[in-house]
Structure 1
Amino acid sequence: MSQTDSLLNTLKRQLRMQGKTYADVAQWLGLSEASVKRLFAERNITLARLECICEQLNLEFAELVQTMQTEERRLQELTQAQEQSIADDPKLFLIAVCVINGYSFAEIHHQYQLSEAECTQQLLKLERLALIQLLPGNRIKRRVAPNFRWRPGGPIQQFFQQHIANDFFRSRFDSESEKLLVLNGLLSRAGNDEWQQIMQRLAKEFHELCERESSLPITQRFGTTSVLAVRQWQHGLFKGYARKLPQQ
């Protein structure tokens, strides 16, 4: 990610934190909302406009840059060995998922059958892995970046695939909080690549939404899992009928 991308992503997070929208930015800059959206999408904002937005947010431009640098130092991904150590320890795995999702010490202790000593022990392990900083009073400071992810094909992802996938799909997906979409069609390699980019943008929007709601009480939020997947795939039932075509 370029420094321009990082800086604008940091600015957008500052806007959300203060409850400001593109409409507000448009008013500050004397532009239409569509023009502002285009500026952010094209990463084409002048220094003067950036300084104007910062002024409206009561934020020095230097502070914005410093915040960006601090966020860049946060963990975006663990090493293979670090993930394996979490996947091999069920209690540590549970606590890791909780803190990444913004649980406080009290909320973890209240929601799960773990003593305060057990919670502290696991949190200290996560501190050694640099996922968090455990502050006085058992306050938890996350050290993961907003775009933190588990390693593709890594131990955590493999654990989910092996142990959770069947349970996840054991549902009719007909309640108000559930939805299952199965899309099927024909795409070229370029079309497939474009769809994957759209999926990546959806994943980014999901994380941004989680961050936006992170200030709500934990009692107003519930665990939400979305699975976005794409494969060049055909059900095994049909493979026996398929012609062998030349590889492209």
Structure 2
Amino acid sequence: MSTTADLVAAVKKELKAAQMTYADLARELGMAESSVKRMLAKGDMPLSRVDAICRALKLDFAELAQRVADAQPLLKELTAEQERSVVADDKLLLVAINVVSQWTAEQICTRYRLSEAEVVKYLAQLDRLGIIELKPLNRYRLKVAKTFRWRPHGPVMQYFRESVMLDYFGGGFDGDGENLQLVHGSISRALAPAFAERLQRVAQDFAQQHQTDQKLKDTDREGYTLVLAMRRWELAAFTRLRR
């Protein structure tokens, strides 16, 4: 959530970009430079003053507000409550997964049996949950980071384990571009995090390629789901045979 401090930080950034000093701003506002410094330090100013600052910067208030919104830290994961809300409705979960993949509302309507009104309704729910910022014409801005992941023990991953895992791993993984490898080994504990970081980079590369390929025709793209995992584990049947 944006705060007054975020607004002041945005104003200072715009001043720097415009190569405008506090003294310059003070002249534009008809104030003493010391008063401007004090005002920005305290973050205590009425909307009329913010309006005047925007005029001095030749910036619309809406543009400044957007700068503040864009500067907000992106979510690396949702809260458990947010995930429970998402997973409670299959259609909402579908739209959530698609927006994380940056599908447009039109693409979702084309691929799935959802009307435009339904998609807009679910986009509005995701906006209220803080996952996206819904914009005019059914466009949206993602509020999750590139490193976003579902909570390891959260409602969405629990849903995956209970309802999706057998369906996913039931495939042959022998189609074009498909692959399944099971590799077991004992390695240095100090090196294990490095392998986990490599997996994270692969996931980021996959997500980035997805974004890049959105400019291609639908007929030139295919939907793939990448599942990456690494954990300390041994098959229970093997564990029972340990000495």
Q: TM-score, normalised by structure 1?
A: 0.64
Partner SS for 1:133: strand
Measure, in 1, the Cα distance between the counterparts of 2:143 and 2:152.
Answer: 20
- 1:96 aligned to 2:96? yes
Change (3 A) 1:181 1:96: same
Name the aligned partner's letter for residue 179 of structure 1. Answer: N
Name the aligned partner's letter for residue 145 of structure 1. Answer: A
Deviation at 1:93, TM superposition (A): 0.5
After superposition, residues 46-195 of structure 1 pair within 5 angstroms as 70=70, 73-195=73-195
Q: Unpaired runs of 5+ in structure 2?
A: 1-65
User: 144-153 vs 76-85, which deviates more?
Assistant: 144-153
Partner SS for 2:133: strand
Measure, in 1, the Cα distance between the counterparts of 2:188 and 2:141.
Answer: 45
Q: Deviations over 1:48-76 (max 9, x none)?
A: xxxxxxxxxxxxxxxxxx99x93653333
Change (3 A) 1:186 1:221: same
Change (3 A) 1:146 1:214: farther
User: 107-116 vs 195-204, which deviates more?
Assistant: 195-204
Query: Partner of 1:234 in structure 2?
Result: 234
The answer as to whether partners of 1:127 and 1:133 remain within 8 angstroms in 2 is: yes
Change (3 A) 1:97 1:71: farther
Name the aligned partner's letter for residue 143 of structure 1. Answer: K
The answer as to whether partners of 2:150 and 2:156 remain within 8 angstroms in 1 is: yes
Deviation at 1:225, TM superposition (A): 1.3
Measure, in 2, the Cα distance between the counterparts of 1:145 and 1:219.
Answer: 28
Measure, in 2, the Cα distance between the counterparts of 1:125 and 1:70.
Answer: 20
Name the aligned partner's letter for residue 84 of structure 1. Answer: R
Change (3 A) 1:217 1:144: farther
Change (3 A) 1:216 1:142: farther
User: 103-112 vs 183-192, which deviates more?
Assistant: 183-192
Deviation at 1:137, TM superposition (A): 2.4
Change (3 A) 1:217 1:197: same
Deviation at 1:210, TM superposition (A): 2.5
Measure, in 2, the Cα distance between the counterparts of 1:136 and 1:72.
Answer: 20
Name the aligned partner's letter for residue 126 of structure 1. Answer: L
Name the aligned partner's letter for residue 239 of structure 2. Answer: K
Name the aligned partner's letter for residue 137 of structure 1. Answer: L
Q: Unpaired runs of 5+ in structure 1?
A: 1-65, 244-248
User: 211-220 vs 180-189, which deviates more?
Assistant: 211-220
The answer as to whether partners of 2:76 and 2:148 remain within 8 angstroms in 1 is: yes
Measure, in 2, the Cα distance between the counterparts of 1:149 and 1:156.
Answer: 10
Query: Partner of 1:201 in structure 2?
Result: 201
Deviation at 1:170, TM superposition (A): 0.6
Name the aligned partner's letter for residue 169 of structure 1. Answer: F
Partner SS for 2:140: strand
User: 129-138 vs 150-159, which deviates more?
Assistant: 129-138
Change (3 A) 1:192 1:131: same
Measure, in 2, the Cα distance between the counterparts of 1:172 and 1:137.
Answer: 41
The answer as to whether partners of 1:147 and 1:207 remain within 8 angstroms in 2 is: no
Name the aligned partner's letter for residue 150 of structure 1. Answer: W
Deviation at 1:236, TM superposition (A): 2.5
Q: Deviations over 1:172-207 (max 9, x none)?
A: 111112101111222132232332222222223222
Partner SS for 2:109: helix
Identity percentage of aligned residues: 38
Measure, in 1, the Cα distance between the counterparts of 2:171 and 2:177.
Answer: 12
Measure, in 2, the Cα distance between the counterparts of 1:188 and 1:82.
Answer: 37
Deviation at 1:218, TM superposition (A): 4.0
Radius of gyration: which is bigger? 2
